[in-house]
A = this chain, B = another copy of it.
Amino acid sequence: MKKIIVQLNKTFDNRVRLGIMSMLMVNDWVDFTTLRDLLELSDGRLASHIKALEEEQFIEVRKQFVGRKPNTSYRATKAGKKAFTDHLDALERMIKGVKE
């Protein structure tokens, strides 16, 4: 039972980021406003956490026009999904396995 904490990903030490990733694990291409409204965040707060996840390359962006309106959507990258499931696995192991 070594290196318990290190296996948890620091990027996911945040409720908002957990929320974004959860959404993007199940849904392909979720747009900015949907994310903002579902997670009940301000534009700025959402944008800042999205930026953090983008910098880690855990999510990717698609910008397009729907009709005449700009539309920005996000989805989890392969690396992002892996990092997230790894994190959750580590958490589960930690909760279940910490005896001694």
Interface assignment of A66: CB less than 8 Å from any CB of chain B: no
By the criterion CB–CB under 8 Å, are A98 and B13 in contact? Answer: no
CB-CB under 8 A for A99 and B5, given A13-B14, A15-B10: no
By the criterion CB–CB under 8 Å, are B88 and A22 in contact? Answer: no
By the criterion CB–CB under 8 Å, are B5 and A98 in contact? Answer: no
Tell me the nearest residue of chain B to A6, going by C-beta: B40
Question: 10 closest Cβ contacts across the A-B interface?
Answer: A8-B15, A5-B19, A22-B94, A22-B95, A22-B98, A5-B15, A23-B98, A26-B99, A5-B39, A26-B98
Beyond the given pairs A5-B39, A18-B94, A26-B99, 15 more chain A to chain B contacts, judged by CB atoms under 8 angstroms and listed by A's residue number, are A1-B38, A4-B22, A4-B40, A5-B15, A5-B19, A5-B41, A8-B18, A10-B15, A13-B13, A22-B94, A25-B98, A27-B98, A38-B98, A38-B100, A88-B95
